[in-house]
Amino acid sequence: MPRNKLLVTGGAGFIGANFVHYWTRNYRRDRVVVLDALTYAGNPASLEPLQSLPAFRFVHGDIRDATLVRALLRDERINTIVHFAAESHVDRSIHSPDAFIHTNVLGTCNLLQAAREAWEADREATDFRFHHVSTDEVYGTLSRDDPAFVETSPYDPSSPYAASKAASDHFVRAYRRTYGLPVSISNCSNNYGPYHFPEKLIPLMIVNALSGAKLPVYGDGSNVRDWLFVEDHCRAIDRILRQGTVGETYNIGGGAEISNLDLVRNLCRLLDEAIGASRALQGTYPDCPAARGSSCADLITFVADRPGHDWRYAMDAAKLRNATGFQPDENLVSGLRKTVQWYLANEGWWRPLLDARYAKWVRQNYPDAGRT
Ligand code: NAD
Ligand code: TDX
């Protein structure tokens, strides 16, 4: 197989970092260049183990910087762009939509334009692909009995985040239809696993429970999400790059729907078990209720609902399965267990993120959240 040269945007973020670990482990001969602006969500520590690999390069920069992106595509002779870079947190998009418009819409357009120029300049020589990583949230919300989203479900985004991702998806398709750019798109459900920034539901609940802080559940906790372990998402993107059809969109899902409240209760059970069974962990996390023989579930607190909160997401992933044979390796039980174990073993990764700047932002925006 020829040596691929990948540009991974947003590779210091949650899914991007997992993808880079996955790719460098499985395709050792490939060149992997990460372009990341290191916003609050980008963490070079997530890529630390890779810095010594000769095939790996980290570039600190913005996807909106046309000169930089053009130079990278040209100088590195990139043939595969995997585009993760985005503002990704729905709550932040509700408070401050601007960054979402700038990065998710304008940034994606800038990348598309640079990719088009690079591809047109070297059309014969390269097997080119622009893969755009998108979300189930572009389809809007489902009620209890609605069938899961398919790739042809109408777009109906609720939050500024979802609207910005929907806009970027439309631009990717327009570049295919208008200029012939070899693109693919994947729309995935909620991911979880290592290197997940502790503002999102699962890592927030874990780190709060360990420090005895409240576990803020929005509304009545009945909202349903479909969860996919992040490494399964990386495997699915790999399949789409190798076996997917250019110009197509693929839904990716975990087939693991659960209400937020049940999910948080499951996490509490896993933490109770792990802390209850280890004197060392009880010593490390003395403020966690499980260290005192109580349950982390005692910390669950219902708080004001998210405005425009989508009630349910569910993905029909049959198209991807039929085209590539992809099935998730992890189920919710095994994936959550791995995730809890990872956070218990990697406090050195998440503790520095709970710094004064971030804590201040949370206090301002979530006065009810009870975070220290
Ligand atoms: P994340 O917020 O953890 O990481 C985003 C990364 O992009 C960060 O490293 C950040 O520094 C970087 N970035 C932001 N703006 C940038 C810019 N202008 N230029 C360069 N880099 C920039 O996000 P994530 O959860 O890893 O999500 C990655 C992608 O997957 C996003 O496009 C998101 O919409 C999509 N997605 C996420 C999920 C999920 O559950 N997390 C599910 C489906 C799809
Ligand atoms: O403190 C919380 N309490 C709570 O009840 C937080 C942070 C969230 N929630 C709820 C809101 C959602 O129903 O939990 C659910 C999950 O919330 P998030 O972790 O913020 O994820 P979500 O809004 O579903 O979006 C995620 O999945 C789709 C990612 O952040 C997006 O980037 C991705 O596109």
The pLDDT value given to residue 365:
54
Between the CA of 287 and the centroid of ligand 1 the distance, in Å, is 32
The pLDDT value given to residue 279:
97
Model confidence over 135-192: pLDDT tens digits?
999 999 999 999 999 999 999 999 999 999 999 999 999 999 999 999 999 999 999 9
Cβ-contact 165, 249 below 8 angstroms? no
157 lines ligand 1 (CB under 6 A): no
Model confidence over 283-313: pLDDT tens digits?
999 999 999 999 999 999 999 999 999 999 9
Between the CA of 307 and the centroid of ligand 1 the distance, in Å, is 22
Between the CA of 118 and the centroid of ligand 1 the distance, in Å, is 24
| Ligand whose nearest atom lies closest to the CA of 252 | 1
Of all protein residues, the one whose alpha carbon is nearest to atom 13 of ligand 1 is: 85
Between the CA of 224 and the centroid of ligand 2 the distance, in Å, is 10
Most informative mutation of 169, 225, 226 for ligand 2 (most atoms within 8 A of CB): 225
The three state secondary structure string of 323-352 is: HHCCCCCCCHHHHHHHHHHHHHHCHHHHHH
Of all protein residues, the one whose alpha carbon is nearest to atom 4 of ligand 1 is: 13
Residue 111 clears pLDDT 50, i.e. is over it:
yes
203 lines ligand 2 (CB under 6 A): no
106 lines ligand 1 (CB under 6 A): no
319 lines ligand 2 (CB under 6 A): no
Does residue 93 or residue 125 have the better pLDDT?
93
Of all protein residues, the one whose alpha carbon is nearest to atom 26 of ligand 2 is: 190
- Residue 370 — pLDDT band, cuts 50, 70, 90? very low
Of all protein residues, the one whose alpha carbon is nearest to atom 42 of ligand 1 is: 190
The pLDDT value given to residue 100:
98
Between the CA of 176 and the centroid of ligand 2 the distance, in Å, is 31
| CATH topology classification for 5-196+228-255+312-329 | Rossmann fold (3.40.50)
64 lines ligand 1 (CB under 6 A): yes
- Residue 123 — pLDDT band, cuts 50, 70, 90? confident
The pLDDT value given to residue 371:
38
Nearest Cα neighbor of 211 from 281, 154, 278 is 281
Residue 96 clears pLDDT 90, i.e. is over it:
yes
Model confidence over 357-366: pLDDT tens digits?
555 555 555 5
Catalytic residues: 136-137, 161
324 lines ligand 2 (CB under 6 A): no
86 lines ligand 1 (CB under 6 A): yes
